[in-house]
Amino acid sequence: MSLLTDLINLDLSESTKKIIAEYIWIGGSGMDIRSKARTLPGPVSDPSKLPKWNYDGSSTGQAPGEDSEVILYPQAIFKDPFRRGNNILVICDTYTPGGEPIPTNKRAAAAKIFSHPDVVAEVPWYGIEQEYTLLQKDVKWPLGWPVGGYPGPQGPYYCAAGADKAFGRDIVDSHYKACLYAGINISGINGEVMPGQWEFQVGPSVGISAGDELWAARYILERITEIAGVVLSFDPKPIQGDWNGAGAHTNYSTKSMREDGGYEIIKKAIDKLGLRHKEHIAAYGEGNERRLTGKHETADINTFKWGVANRGASIRVGRDTEQAGKGYFEDRRPASNMDPYIVTSMIAETTILLKP
């Protein structure tokens, strides 16, 4: 074994109480994840005990050069699956030195919505199905696809195994364990319909933690693909033509929906979502119009429709929810590059706070 590996995996707990905290934040594009690490004197489990920090916002398109400091507020802690021991990952959001959230900080507004008493009372649960595509480095062509050509058409790849059907499973499987280790509520994974595309699900998470957990999972995925030498893409329609896009279907329920008579609440909520279709679509991810065509298990971007067990609808309600008279529904509109803080808080706002 190389000495470098021994050093990376060195267990520091014998030699020192100090820990390493990787502060993670979202950069200027709204999709780029940034991080840097610092040493702390001892183990921490509560974000409020972590010091605020700052970074150079002019290098991430979030501040001008003459006034470049952006302040990081720690919001959620996860165990670091790369450094292990007592080392941690810290999900942060970003503020001006004056204490205002900077424009790209979507978490702050979401936190406001999630602390509204009506929303708190309804205990909103989210299950987010994050799809993503793996690309070969340098050529940016999907993993497993012949360079200069295409694989056989979709059909054999969904949930499949085999060297000619599943590309990149090591990434998916190591991501699964890494997230479980980190304390992220990862509930499952599967191979997707387009070869080289995969999905993981996070949830059920309550309120703001859905966003924190999804961003932490995305960070871990980006680190793992970095190790594997493969490029991660959250583009909602990576390849044009008869190839599925990538979404981030968001399953949602409130306390009333989960109790008896919940099905009626679900239908009312869906109606409210129908009234705000355009506003939601505008916030559900850049480039979604390339994906929501009405084909490839999507509903057309301009149409709002819902149905039971219908994968061609905007909102899908499961058969077991219909049968039990209570449960949850699935918003199939968000693209894979959506911001979960925006999507989760918007769904809560429209269905709980909006009075038509």
User: For binding to another protein (CB under 8 A), which residues are involved?
Assistant: 1-5, 8-9, 79, 81-82, 143, 146, 155-156, 158-171, 173-178, 180-181, 186-191, 193, 224, 227-230, 297, 307-312, 318-320, 323
Measure the CA–CA gap between 83 and 309, rounded to whole angstroms.
Answer: 42
- Give least dist CB 340 to another protein, A: 19
Task: Quote the least distance from Cβ 198 to another protein, whole Å.
Answer: 10
Within 10 Å of residue 354's Cβ, how many Cβ atoms?
Answer: 13
Q: Which two tokens stand for residue 307?
A: 């149905």
- Spatial contact of 298 and 220, defined as CB atoms under 8 Å apart: no
Place of tokens 């050529």: 139
* 240 three-state secondary structure: coil
How far apart (Å, rounded) are the C-alpha atoms in residues 175 and 186? 10
Question: Which residue from 325, 284, 333 is spatially nearest to 306, judged by alpha carbons?
Answer: 333
- Cβ-in-10-Å burial (0-12, 13-18, 19+) of 33 comes to middle
Residue among 250, 251, 336 nearest 291 (CA): 336
| Separation between Cα atoms, residue 293 and residue 113, nearest integer Å | 31
